[in-house]
Chains A and B, each alone.
Chain A
Amino acid sequence: MRLSKIFKNTLLVLTACLVLSACATKKEVATTDSIKGQMQGDVYTGTDTVEYLADGVPDRVFFATNESILTTASRETLRAQAAWLRKNPSINVVLEGHADERGTREYNLALGERRANAAKDYLMTYGISSDRITVLSYGKERPVDSGSNPLAWSKNRRSVTVKAN
């Protein structure tokens, strides 16, 4: 028998082993109680990482896993940002969209863009011109919290409004 044939047989045997072993996967560790106070569902509701564009104007909004839907709290934050932008017509902003590390890099880049655009659309419905807003996605490249746990990931799923000038 040729050597190449033997290798092919090896492949078949190993393939079979793999198919059998692939079924066993472990369950995700449950969210601990200490985290619950800072998260609603899996959206971050704490203030640890939040900075302020002006008094009472938080700079960021947070998202659920794989989502780009704005929560009630997020919409409130964005309305405050819109009011501040209307009061300061010379200020332009960059909306930086981010994802947590639990996704593939390329998809996360797109997801960050979608999140920042969700924030942009909301600012626009409150009268802010699209000329004043630039969208920039960082995907999973710039986490604020380097932790590998649900709370850290929730802080990282965000759109941050940054002064551009």
Chain B
Amino acid sequence: MLKKILSLFIILIPINAFALIEVDITRGNLNPLPLAVSPLSIDETSRKSFEKILKKDNIGSEISIIVENNLRISGLFNPLDKKAFLQAPDIANLKPRFEDWNLIKAQALITGKVNYVDDKLRVEFRLWDVLAAKEMMALAFTTVPSNWRRVGHIISDKVYERLTGEKGYFDTRIIYVSEEGPKTQRIKKLAIMDQDGANNKFLTLGNELVLTPRFNPTSQMVTYLSYFKNMPRVYLLDIETGTQEVVGDFPGMTFAPRFSPDGKKIIMSFAKDGKSDIYTMDLENRIVEKITNHPSIDTSPSYSPDGKYITFNSDRSGYQQIYVMKNDGTDVKRISFGNGLYGTPVWSPRGDLIAFTKLHKGKFYIGVMRTDGSGERLLTENYYQEAPSWSPNGRVLIFYRETKTNAKGEGFSAKLWSIDLTGYNERQIKTSTDASDPSWSSLLSN
């Protein structure tokens, strides 16, 4: 299944030239943009073919539901109730009656068509500017039928990009740690799922403790911490082949791994004799470099997107604070100066911000600051939450939150949450088990 997803090919063909009309929504306000997602139309023969293959009554509707959910969850769009639609999907896709869509206050309209062509799924969709009565975009995809969910995500990304001017983040996956069992003896497994929670799959069996998985830039490899044979070491997992290998096999504990932005190195902490320092390992020639050298705890390293800088967490000042240094370990500068403790710095894919966890007066915050430490903003406060990971467009952070137990020590749970960079649109991401340590992939299709 995973192999199929990774080796899939999707052909994107512009049906005709992009309309260049800009959406004029100066009449709009700060509310989400109302838009209509008309179910993708499907002819009866195609419908029956897909019903047989995918066990879905109407794949056209299913795909449009994915688009609708993605756009709603982004917090930027308000998909309108289908019951109010006046025009049939097939006719709307040919030529919308804009006055009808205007009547239900849709400012944008998505229409489309699904066909069964040579055992493949062919989907075309159009984005319409209702007020200007113009087509804004038209694209067609052909892929294997089992990729139908991804088609929905790709359409969502295209619409998001056309309407906001920024890349989307829907055709992505989340790797995380699935948790079960009592708090004192948690069973943890690596798991992977689509960004919307679908296609969940476990990657390890739970025989050993696993923590902190992170994708490489192409999202095909994962680096994580495993307690295999009770020796906490950094590992590398190829998601496609399932091959695992140890990369941080030093005489001590290696932990807190991340890839460099070019995917060629792993940066991690190595703890020995009560000191934790930051090291890199080149994955091709296995050359190890020591980046920090300090009797303190230096951990949670994260590269800037250009690879020139590293942000990390150190208690060299006495308490956990965030630092930035050059990629060779020189020019170390502390950047966090607010009240409280700071940890888990992660550089934004846009390069301009660092997300972090802050602990202050018994509360945990997820926040962001500029890379020089200025402009600190706390996005969310809770009893316990940490470990933010950026969406590939740098607009959303995913993290995990744990609940306080009652007097008997019961009621513990760990869940994934996301929040927009604005501090708005906080949501729980549903998982089949408890979950922690999420890491967001890059866009799978570009």
Given contacts A109-B255, A113-B253, A113-B276, contact A6 B25 (CB under 8 A): yes
A28, B361: Cβ atoms closer than 8 Å: yes
When A and B form their complex, what is the total count of cross-chain residue pairs whose Cβ atoms lie within 8 Å? 161
Given contacts A14-B423, A117-B273, A117-B274, contact A4 B402 (CB under 8 A): no
B333 contacts the other chain (CB 8 A): no
Pick from B211, B344, B404: contact of A148, CB under 8 Å: B404
B33, A3: Cβ atoms closer than 8 Å: yes
A110, B276: Cβ atoms closer than 8 Å: yes
Nearest chain B CB to A1's CB is how many angstroms away? 5
Contacts of B253 in A (CB 8 A): 109, 113, 136-137
B377 contacts the other chain (CB 8 A): yes
B166, A4: Cβ atoms closer than 8 Å: yes
Question: Contact mask A124-142 → B, CB, 8 Å, 1/0?
Answer: 0000000000011110011
Pick from A106, A136, A145: contact of B256, CB under 8 Å: A106
A79 contacts the other chain (CB 8 A): no
Contacts of B383 in A (CB 8 A): 148
Question: Contact mask A76-104 → B, CB, 8 Å, 1/0?
Answer: 00000000000000000000000001111
Pick from B165, B360, B379: contact of A3, CB under 8 Å: B165
A18 contacts the other chain (CB 8 A): yes
Q: Which range holds the interface residue count of chain A?
A: 35 or more
Q: How far is the CA of A124 from the CA of B410 in the complex (A)?
A: 40
Q: Which residue of A lies closest to B357 (CB)?
A: A104
Q: How far is the CA of A27 from the CA of B361 in the complex (A)?
A: 6
Given contacts A104-B387, A146-B182, contact A110 B25 (CB under 8 A): no
Nearest chain A CB to B273's CB is how many angstroms away? 6
Residue positions of A touching B, CB distance < 8 A: 1-4, 6-7, 9-11, 13-15, 17-19, 22, 25-29, 66, 68, 101-107, 109-111, 113-114, 117-118, 121, 135-138, 141-149, 152
- Given contacts A4-B165, A145-B409, A148-B383, could you give 20 more A-B pairs where the C-beta distance is less than 8 Å? A3-B33, A3-B164, A4-B164, A7-B164, A10-B422, A11-B421, A13-B30, A15-B422, A18-B377, A103-B359, A104-B344, A105-B211, A109-B225, A109-B255, A110-B297, A113-B274, A117-B273, A141-B209, A142-B185, A146-B405
